[in-house]
Structure 1
Amino acid sequence: MAKTKAAAENESQLADPSVDRKALLSEALRRRIVSMEMAPGAVVDELALSEEFGLSRPPVRELMRQMAAEGYIELEANRAARVSSMNHQSLRNFFLAAPLIYIATTQLAAIHATHAEIDELKAIQQRFREAIEQNDVENRVLYNDQFHLQIGKMAHNPYLMPSLRRILIDHARLGKIFYRHPTTHDMEADLGKAAGQHDQIIDAIARHDAQAAGDIVRAHMDLSRRRMTEYVAPVGVEVPLAF
């Protein structure tokens, strides 16, 4: 089996004796989960990860406890660790909570953001648009995640960040599912609309218009909700009743 680019990069980094292997495992495991390389509910093999990254079991267990606290992994007594699930209840909770968190962080960003932070947000948005143009699903999901995480940082409110980070896990996974093959005109139009909403959010933040920023991000979430509804309840096939 051919190695992925990410796997080859991991091998190259692990060959460096000065590399922080635990940090490399942390980054790799997060990437594998949000990219759906590790499916929701999949077993996280502690022994295999220890061998792959050249670590003993204790630091791997410590990292898994940390990632469980962040929402990436589910830990239960007497059961193997698993990637956090995506069932009906978890998706319902996501779409109930996500607008509240996104609106709060975006409005606070409009109040507190610095010029340097806004410039960084613009740079992320440029990379997001390039990923759309290149039909690069992996980077589109990655830069969308970075866009909203950067807004969270710009809010300068540590109480909101844990909730935002948890929401972004499922936002990235949903993006990987729903926009995997944007071949239809309506899906391409939605991507263009989402990118345009990002630009509007940046503009509202730069103008320190918290109300406008909140209204735009609410519409942004409505777009995601509509796409999910179409995914789980597709239009039925028309069948002629006359024989």
Structure 2
Amino acid sequence: MSNLEELGLCLTVYVKKTFIDGNHLKTKIIKQMTRLNQFTFFIRSFINIFNEMSFPSTEDIQQTFIDFPFNKMISYFNNFADRKQSQCYIYSYPFLTRYYTGITNNFPGGLFEHVRSVSLFDEQPFEHEFFLRIQKSFPFIEELSLVNGKPQNRKQSYESNSNNQTLSLIEYFFLKKLYISNVHDDYIEQFLFHIKTYLQNNIIVYVDYESLQRVTHNFTRDSTRTNCAKISKLHLWGQGKRSNSLEEYFPYAKICYGIY
């Protein structure tokens, strides 16, 4: 290992007291590998929160990368009160990995042209502007998964604007798979409303049956019809059952049923 010249590291780790930061990388890796001349990494570290624990700020984490001998480094962290967890990201930039997992509202942005698969999670709502930022940061995204049970706060303001003058259309030109089976109904609307989101043809969608039934008004709603007609394979989770209205609403989709 001491003779390595190039190293790429992708880790998700649970730690007890301190997040993985620049000091860890300098002492545990760089000083041990004296011939290393290229080092790229993507590290998520989690700490379970007990009582009143204090955590470093993003600025504190970033300070540990002073005099770091390689590429630009990005760091940020999130607190999840419901899960009683705190999460810290550190990664090298430009970002060369094809996967970026667990993105929250604190995502600092950037351009990630190599990433093809993205997952989103937060205990705070994802608003329309957040999804616009995600699309701009990951222009070649092919798979997108989402977990968020909190309703959008600004959804009503969009619905009250009959002309939708302030709503920017989010265009996913390369998206092939969309996982929205563990979300609030607002996010199913976010992706199926054609005035909010443009989807390409032949997309595969994973979604909860009852949620989809509500959002599409029992498979009759016009505002979700355009994007639903672009689905080539529909994976429905929960106690759903086949019906003529469902099949007519998804005219080009192979429909598969699953149970949680």
Q: Normalization by structure 2: what TM-score?
A: 0.22
Between Structure 1 and Structure 2, the one with more helix by share is 1
Between Structure 1 and Structure 2, the one with more strand by share is 2
Q: Bigger radius of gyration, 1 or 2?
A: 2
Greater relative CO, 1 or 2 (CA 8 Å, sep 6+): 1
Q: Normalization by structure 1: what TM-score?
A: 0.23
